Each structure stands twice: as C-alpha cells, then as structure tokens.
Amino acid sequence: MTPDSPMPPDRFAELVARRSADPRPDPLVSVPVREPATDTSDLAAELLGEAAGRPLESGELLLVSEEATLDDLEAAVAGIASASEMPGISVDDPVLAALTAPRLLSHRIWEALLWQPPLAEHARLLEAAMLAGKVVPQVMLVGHVETFPERVEHLMRLRNLVENAGAVGGGVVLQVRLAEPGDLPPVTPQLERILADARPVDPDTDRRHALALARLTLGPLVVL
C-alpha cells in the first residue's frame, strides 16, 4: 500500500459507516472502551510499516488503533524516532491548556463528563498565543469514557492544532496521562455508572495505547 493507493473499498466503507452511523450518540448511555487487539491484522501491519514514511489518515489510524497489538503500535513508533530524540521539556501553562482542551474533544465526551461546551473566546485566545510564538501545552486524559474512534477524532484535532501553530511560529506539546479524580467533575451516581462501564480493564495499558497512537498521529517529538 502506498499513499496514493486507497484502503480496500470494503474496509474503507466499513470504517466510514461505523464513524457516521450515529454522530451524536446519547452521552448518558455507557459505551465500553475496547482493549487493544491480541493479533495484528495484515492491513494494520502494512499501515504501520508505512507510518515511518507518511502521516496516517484518520481512517487508517482508526484501523490500526483497533486491529494492531500494543507491542506493534509501540514498535512502529520506535521505528520513527528513538527515545533519545524525545524532548526533555515540559511546559506549564494550565490556563492555556484548560482553555483549549474542550475544543479537542467530541461532543459526547464533554456532555458525558458534564463539562461546559467550549466558547468562541477560547479559540481567539488560542490563536493569539500561537501568533505570539508560544508553545501551547495540551494534556490528553485517558482511562475514562473515550472510545477508540473518539481518541482518533481527538488526535486529528490535535494534529490540526499542531499544523496551525507551526504555520505561525508557535508550537504544541502533548502529555498523555491517566485521568485522576480531580480531573473529573463531581461524580454523580449516573456518571459513576458510565465511568465504571466505560473504563478500560487495565488503565496503564490504555495510556500506553493512547501514547503510541498520539506519537503515530502527531510525530514523536510533539508528545512528551
């Protein structure tokens, strides 16, 4: 497979149908988070092999997120950049992080977690920060109610943010970490049920999956 040759039509149609079947699902209905695959499909292996040469598109990322083992995802990232090339920096600007984060999540996530929708003012502040050449920090919380398709949607919005920041002399760094109780709103019985049903069996494995997928999507040097 090359960048000019599309995914097999039947697989592409399947992915499109699954992503567009219900664009606004009920946020109060529990959606189980999938676990990483136990075997890597042939198509996922082929796509991971191409990841060193080009950015994978959203449908391809969704496929490898669901059909590649965690070991193979991490091996693909290792083939793009070595650990010694990872940035040894951290950026602490919680105001910018808090302002921009809601814009990167699907509607279902911030409705399910009872967060407020992002405001237009957030976008203007973000744009001003990027134009000033700032490095915009982002924290990607995992281990709550985000499904694999929503994770890909989240990362594609981050990719757009990275590209926009780079175009005006700014930058983005991303930290992927497990959600802690203080990161979430006060837990009601309803939210507690949703979280219990959706939370992955092994939160650390879920973080590793999100970290590998983020580095495939954004490039290893963007992700701390």
DSSP character at residue 58: H
What confidence score (pLDDT) does residue 1 get? 40
Structural domain boundaries enclosing 135:
1-224
Contact 176, 36 (CB under 8 A): no
pLDDT band, very low/low/confident/very high, at 41 (cuts 50, 70, 90)? very high
For the segment 19-35, what is each residue's pLDDT rounded down to a tens digit?
A: 555 555 666 676 777 78
| Domain count along the chain | 1
pLDDT band, very low/low/confident/very high, at 40 (cuts 50, 70, 90)? very high
What confidence score (pLDDT) does residue 169 get? 84
Mean pLDDT over the full length of the chain: 78
| Residue 119: pLDDT over 50 | yes
Please state the rounded mean pLDDT for residues 46-57. 91
Helix (H) or strand (E) holding 70: helix 70-80
Contact 37, 68 (CB under 8 A): yes
